Amino acid sequence: MDFLRTSYVTARYSFALLATALLPLAAAATIPTYDFKVVRSYPHDPQAFTEGLLYRDGFLYESTGLNGKSSIRKVNLETGAVLQSKDIPPQYFGEGLTVWGNTLVGLTWQTQTGFVFDLASFEMRSQFVYPGEGWGLTQNGKELIMSDGTATLRFLDPKTFLEVRRVKVTADGIAVDQLNELEVVGDEIFANIWHTSTIARIDPATGKIIGWIDLARLYPAAGKGLNGENVLNGIAYDAEKKRLFVTGKLWPKLYEIKLVPRK
């Protein structure tokens, strides 16, 4: 493993242990857990270190990480083929991605810099800054919603990129950090819990976790490659057809899944 990847793993792995330990305790209390059924699987680039994922007008848009390898991409859902891509400058580690109007908005990890790209051409329109780290990004039609590796979700003005409010994410009163890739699904926010095979279903008004999605059986090789970094990370939702897609870093497949309450 090269130095850049080693630094990434060392910096983030120690923080994941607490979140991993808390999940079973929270799930065993009053919060329902959901299993899944695979509706269909699709090819996914096994070299894509997936950080952000979204569905828009029949295509997937994806951001990838690692310094010198970060990019944004337009992807054919059916074939996994990369139809269009743009490299992010090598000093930046690409993170979350969302669409806003006719633009794509992307975060970077530790450089406190975000980018706005033209949705059609991928040309960079502007940059913005924010304090702290950038992890996941989504939007609810009014605000951008950002995670930073803590238990906090920040809500940003999509014009100024300034924070307008924030919520603390909790499970039965316990703060849950390591919130990573985000997706608005209906009236909820779905969030990957980094270094786990769990997605949290979050009430955006209160920050309370109202459900867990257990995807441990989806891809048994998760967490066993790239020093444990090939983990679940990527949620996209087709609101029109009510389709939920998930994948992970360096995964060879993207999955359409249906949630099933655990009995």
Where in the sequence is the domain holding 81, given as residue range(s)?
A: 3-261
pLDDT at 23: 53
State the average pLDDT over residues 178-206: 97
Rg, C-alpha atoms of the chain: 17
Task: Tell me the C-alpha distance between 51 and 63, whole Å.
Answer: 6
Reply yes or no on whether the pLDDT at 197 is more than 50.
Answer: yes
pTM, two decimal places:
0.90
Tell me whether strands 209-214 and 33-43 are parallel, antiparallel or unpaired.
parallel
Q: Is 37 exposed, middle or buried (0-12, 13-18, 19+ CB in 10 A)?
A: exposed
State the average pLDDT over residues 62-91: 97
Q: How confident is the model at residue 227 (pLDDT cuts 50, 70, 90)?
A: confident
In the β-sheet with 137-139, what is the strand arrangement from edge to edge?
137-139, 144-147, 152-156, 163-168
Task: Tell me the C-alpha distance between 74 and 67, whole Å.
Answer: 20
Q: What is the pLDDT of residues 4-56, one digit of tens each?
A: 444 444 444 444 444 444 454 444 468 999 999 999 999 999 999 999 999 99
Task: Tell me the C-alpha distance between 162 and 155, whole Å.
Answer: 8
Q: Is 172 exposed, middle or buried (0-12, 13-18, 19+ CB in 10 A)?
A: middle
3-state secondary structure of 150: coil
Give the percent of the chain with pLDDT over 90.
84
Does residue 213 contact residue 202 with C-beta atoms inside 8 Å? no
3-state secondary structure of 231: coil
pLDDT at 29: 63
CATH code of the domain covering residue 168 = 2.120.10.30
Tell me whether strands 174-175 and 179-185 are parallel, antiparallel or unpaired.
unpaired
pLDDT at 137: 98
Give the percent of the chain with pLDDT over 70.
89
For residue 158, what are the CA distances in angstroms to 88, 142, 181, 199?
21, 8, 18, 25
Torsion of the alpha carbons at 76, 182, 123 and 133, rounded to the nearest 10: -140
Torsion of the alpha carbons at 146, 168, 166 and 113, rounded to the nearest 10: -30
Q: Number of structural domains, the chain?
A: 1
The closest of 257, 248, 258 to 44, measured between CA atoms, is 248
Please, what is the end-to-end C-alpha distance for the chain in angstroms? 42
Strand ranges for 47-92 from DSSP E: 50-56, 59-64, 71-76, 82-87
Q: Taking all residues of the chain, what is their mean pLDDT, rounded to a whole number?
A: 90
* Structure token digits, residue 224: 């066993």
Q: How confident is the model at residue 225 (pLDDT cuts 50, 70, 90)?
A: confident
Q: How many CA atoms does the CB half-sphere of 164 hold within 13 Å?
A: 11
pLDDT at 4: 43
pLDDT at 263: 79
Amino acid at the residue 138: T
Task: Tell me the C-alpha distance between 15 and 107, whole Å.
Answer: 20
* Structure token digits, residue 260: 């099933």
State the average pLDDT over residues 138-143: 97
